[in-house]
Amino acid sequence: MITIKFYSLLRLLVKVEQVELALDNVTISQVLAEVQKKVNTPFLHKLVQGGSLITGTVILINGRNIHHLHKLDSLVKRGDEISLFPPGGGG
């Protein structure tokens, strides 16, 4: 299983804390598309526009920002945990 966890604004939007998918060796793009189908709430437009990542949400695979992996082509394997977290930038 791949576990996808939502935090703050995204958790409120999709109204679930986490989703599990029986996938292995797929890109994070494919995972997110499957998650969107499963939660039945559009949220991808807040993460990706024109095929590129946009600012506002940190996407982590096993705690590592996908900007430091292969961005939307980052590979996700069985047992991996994905976190989607719109951070608070204010002080």
Separation between Cα atoms, residue 16 and residue 27, nearest integer Å: 22
Residue range at the interface with other proteins (CB under 8 A); choices 20-28, 35-43, 53-61, 72-80? 53-61
- Measured CA to CA in angstroms, residue 38 lies from 20, 27, 69, 91 at distances of 9, 17, 25, 35
Closer to other proteins by Cβ: residue 39 or 48: 48
Q: Give the footprint of other proteins on residues 13-42 (CB under 8 A).
A: none
| Of the residues 13, 16, 26, 53, which one makes contact with other proteins according to CB under 8 A | 53
State in angstroms the smallest separation of the CB of 83 from other proteins.
6
